[in-house]
A = this chain, B = another copy of it.
Amino acid sequence: LDRAMSATSINLAVIPGDGIGPEVIAEAVKVLEKAVAAQGVALELTNYKLGAQHWLETGETLPDEVLADLRTRDAILFGAVGAAPGDTRIPSGIIEREMLLKLRFSLDHYVNLRPSRLYGTVGSPLANPGEIDFIVVREGTEGPYVGNGGTLRGGTPHEVATEVALNTAHGVERVVRDAFRRASDRPRKHVTLVHKHNVLVFAGHLWKRTVEAVAREFPEVTHDYLHIDAATIFMVTDPSRFDVIVTDNLFGDILTDLAAAITGGIGLAASGNINMDRTAPSMFEPVHGSAPDIAGQQKADPTAAILSAVLLLDHLGYTTAARKIEAAVVADVESRTGEPRSTAAIGDAIAAAL
């Protein structure tokens, strides 16, 4: 499917957010615009002011009307949200939960797709990284992220705090099937389930049984299993072994930050929060946060945001434009010398190379 010839515009929601979000998103939009224009496609942008700064000004996290409006767009490009670490005016985690996670849950972004690839060996903290090229398919709508829990006798010596992870056959099966589908399109055709089923028996066995059942639909795809603790070991001793990892929301959160670190840092790590049933727009965002300490200084690397735009184009079917940006990014990253460039200079270089 290449939509380049059929559609003439992309109706794109842009949420730049806080900190370095606006800077990196400006470059992603710049590159995106140029790449699709070459295919005769226009970008129609709608900006949404959301995030910690917006909350400070208005007390709003994600109003229902804004969520409804976002639903009318083809896709969402998201920068980063989050207050400065020392800012005590913002209740901890409120923006993350009531805005970012609310978007992922409301728009049913059940595939949290996070590719990891090492370009050259530039920037890996590993002595012998080898070839790294895998994707993590992280479940995005359930597990320990559902916000189900409570506090009894809070603030007393008898306090009990619970967190309930909810896992459903519906939720697990659709993401596992997505992982196998993606694996069957890749040369190595291998899926690794990561969980901790020797301790988290109930959830773990649902995941394991589901992988075994779905695997039967994909005889060409091999699969194995790793406990999350063992997976982190392999991530630093033998990352080449991974092709497609499928895992739950929390283990995926942990593994993908580690994966970003070993492939040169979160300045390069892209992600898509994808609703594969297309019942709502999907959202694409760099894995990194808002990095308030370097905000507004043109020090942030926009590559992760630009690669997130590539995932966006792929999801919408603009594969020609996606491959062009990707090639320009790879060329740029592999030619990096360590000499610092401004956020805009990196965006300009990638746009110029299209």
Residues on A lying within 8 angstroms of B by beta carbon are 92-93, 96-97, 101, 124-128, 144-145, 147, 149-151, 153, 155-170, 173, 196-206, 208-209, 228-230, 232-233, 235-237, 250, 253-254, 256-258, 260-262, 265-266
Contact = CB atoms under 8 A, between A and B. Distances in A.
Given A162-B202, A168-B159, A260 B236 contact: no
Contacts of A258: 229, 232-233, 235-236, 258
Nearest to A225: B85
A213 B76 CA distance: 42
B257 A232 contact: yes
A232 B254 contact: yes
Nearest to A200: B163
Contact of A233 (B97, B144, B165, B266): B266
Contacts of A157: 169-170, 173
A165 to B, nearest CB: 4
11 contacts: A93-B199, A96-B198, A97-B201, A125-B128, A151-B206, A159-B168, A162-B203, A232-B261, A233-B257, A233-B261, A258-B258
Given A201-B149, A203-B149, A236 B155 contact: no
A161 B167 contact: yes
Which 3 pairs across A and B sit closest by C-beta, in order of nearness?
A93-B198, A229-B257, A159-B169
Contacts of A147: 199, 201
B236 A149 contact: no
Contact of A160 (B168, B200, B201, B261): B168
